[in-house]
Chains A and B, each alone.
Chain A
Amino acid sequence: MCDRRALGGHLVYLYDGSFEGMLTAIFEAYYREAPGRILAEGCWQQALDERYEKVETDLSKSGRVHDAIEAKIGKTALGMVYYGWLSHEPERATRIYEFLRLGFRIGPGITARLADPAVDALFRINRPVLREYDKQRGFLRFSVMEGGIYYAKEETVSYQLPLLTPYFFDRMTGDPFIIHDVGRRLAGVSDTRQWRIVSAETFTAPDMSPEEMDYRRLWIAFHETVAIQSRLNPKLQSQMAPKRYWKYMTEMNGGK
């Protein structure tokens, strides 16, 4: 085995993809050795001049980082770190680490330093996550299944279940639901008493309730009706509702 350290390679921490894992890697960055990059396992390409170290997720270490961010840099910054983690951007954890390095130096004032490259970079990663949340709160479509369960499929670019599940838990109070993130094979589930996110590796959706198709047809009829013919503007329509969302939107996919 060749010793990468001897070759002078940059250190890269690999974490398991979880929020706690990412915070553990940041803990190691402070208490062990500062890395050049922090990456989630499975989404990196080996480079010759880098050496890789796996970080074992440790809840006491991640908890300490979590509390330190909140106490020393503030809630807003903690929110930015969390939204950043939800992003699909491969370098998200590196950007978060760079943001926090500056944050621990200057404290809560960091969120005002909009023109600073480290702060700007994290804002840039946050923005599409929040935009997608905004879109998906409106575009998600539930179907009523046998037994009165509400079921929705989605394929989002960023990881939206941790935001969408509590939102719909509040909105749907009395009805159990499943939001199925098809791409990530995960599901946000509510039994009306609590919500959680579970694996959907072996999940099969229940059958549709008999009246489901009727309501889809009614919705499609309404959606067609509201368009004013002399104002047709398909370009504007797909700008506001980008086509990648159409797959699961009842009125756009013909009620499939």
Chain B
Amino acid sequence: MGRVMIMSMDLADKLRILGGAARYDSACTSSGSQRGGVKGMTGNAVSCGICHSFSADGRCVSLLKVLLTNHCINDCKYCYNRSSNDIERTAFTPEELADLTMSFYKRNYIEGLFLSSGIVRDPDYTMELMCRVLALLRGQYGFNGYIHAKAIPGGSAGMISRLGRLTDRLSVNIELPSERSLVLLAPQKDKEKILNPMGLIQRGIRDRDQRGFAPAGQSTQMIIGATPDTDYQILRLSESLYRKFELRRVFYSAYVPVGDHPALPVAGKPPLLREHRLYQADWLLRFYGFSADELLDQRRPALDPVLDPKCQWALRHLETFPVEVNRADYSVLLRVPGIGVRSAKRICVARRTASLDFEHLRKLGVVLKRAVYFITCKGRYQTDLKINEGFIYRNLAADVGSRRQIAAPAEQLSFFSEPDREDAIQCVTGEL
């Protein structure tokens, strides 16, 4: 590695630089793999994942998330590690990183390693370096815990297959939600360079043999708010990624200004509320049976800042309500605001032995202040309600408004709202 000069740097400094450089990647989950401990090795994996800490921004810390090196030949305008950015560069040795992972893991600081890297020389050479670290960790150090690695855009089939056998999860970041944006801001990347490795990973997972290949599947990330792409475009893209590439997760990362390219938005607060709404909508795609076209369309391409996407959808489809909770199908219950996956399942179980009323629903975890406008129990609304769109909207919005000041809905890209209570849900669930 000819370009890595600083070998005498203190390990703490390296960790600060290479951990700091990786923090904009929002995927820190250790979920999707389940395996018990193995004699002679260290570690196991729990399918729901485990959060080991929470950083000062409230995000879950589950993995030691670092770059192998922040040297990079690419100059993506939105990226902190772009070659034109004047920052200190360094790299871990494989031994340093393996030792850190083991020492942190055994102290129960982390659930495993998240390894990404700047691109050294070329994509395959970079993945070769990553494989060396992971092979050392899995082999000599006997690490049986969780590993998430980034496949490098433009990497070959051979390297991806090696990487896949060493990891629980692989991801290739889409980064920018449209080809036009890629051309503008990431000139060295193109759609093919990103989608090819995704297809290779998908094939690796499908043809998985006993040696295992990314048992926790693949994920990706998109940066939100660095480009004029709309929520509608983003959700359409996510939907097709889930369908075509069978991704487990798409992560959304509110753009934090790290560059001053004329095509990038000027410094401001990261669009956290927008990120949160996208996660909610993403949940609706994956677990609630919604399609992107039901939530948004060309004429209303932005998610509503005031109401969550499920409330929004329900208000536009009052003709499908009210729903009688004692009879409605599971798939219909899922579409009621205030009823989540868990409470819908509980309703279906509980109503087999009892006819449910509103008090029962409260016990089952239904959020009645949202649900009351859309359901009946034994044929009755909870109270006399005037059910029309304006009435419900005012009530739902008043409830949100009492928790935070709402800026008037504005054009996409311009609402940079303060972090608020609702963002709290982000890391754990997206239940609506």
Contacts and interface: CB of A to CB of B under 8 A. Distances in A.
Interface of A: 109, 112-116, 120, 134, 137-144, 150, 152, 168-175, 215, 217-219, 221-228, 230-237, 239-241, 249-252
A232 B23 CA distance: 13
Given A232-B56, A235-B424, A236-B423, 14 more contacts: A113-B354, A114-B346, A115-B356, A171-B43, A174-B41, A218-B100, A225-B20, A226-B65, A227-B56, A228-B24, A230-B257, A233-B419, A234-B58, A237-B57
Contact of A141 (B44, B64, B109, B350): B109
B106 A231 contact: no
Contact of B270 (A169, A171, A231): A231
Interface of B: 11-12, 15-16, 19-20, 23-24, 36-44, 46, 50-62, 64-65, 100, 103-104, 106-109, 111, 142, 254, 256-257, 269-270, 272, 346, 349-350, 352-354, 356, 360, 363-364, 419, 421, 423-424, 427-428
Contacts of A231: 57-59, 254, 256, 270, 272, 419
Q: Chain A: interface secondary structure?
A: helix
Contacts of A171: 37, 42-44
A160 to B, nearest CB: 14
Contacts of A224: 56
The 3 closest A-B CB pairs, nearest first, are A236-B58, A231-B57, A227-B56
A130 B43 CA distance: 22
Contacts of B53: 138-139, 223, 241, 249, 251-252
B107 A144 contact: yes
B12 A221 contact: yes
Contact of A139 (B11, B52, B419): B52
A171 B42 CA distance: 7
Contacts of A141: 107-109
B256 A230 contact: yes
28 contacts: A134-B50, A138-B52, A140-B108, A141-B108, A170-B44, A172-B37, A174-B41, A174-B142, A175-B106, A215-B104, A218-B15, A219-B109, A225-B19, A225-B23, A226-B20, A226-B65, A227-B56, A228-B270, A230-B270, A231-B256, A234-B56, A235-B421, A236-B57, A236-B423, A237-B56, A237-B57, A240-B60, A251-B53
B378 to A, nearest CB: 13
B55 A112 contact: no
Contact of B364 (A115, A172, A226, A249): A115
A240 B51 contact: yes
Contact of A230 (B15, B20, B40, B269): B269
A98 B288 CA distance: 36
Contact of B428 (A137, A139, A240, A252): A240
A113 B15 contact: no
B100 A113 contact: no
B13 to A, nearest CB: 9
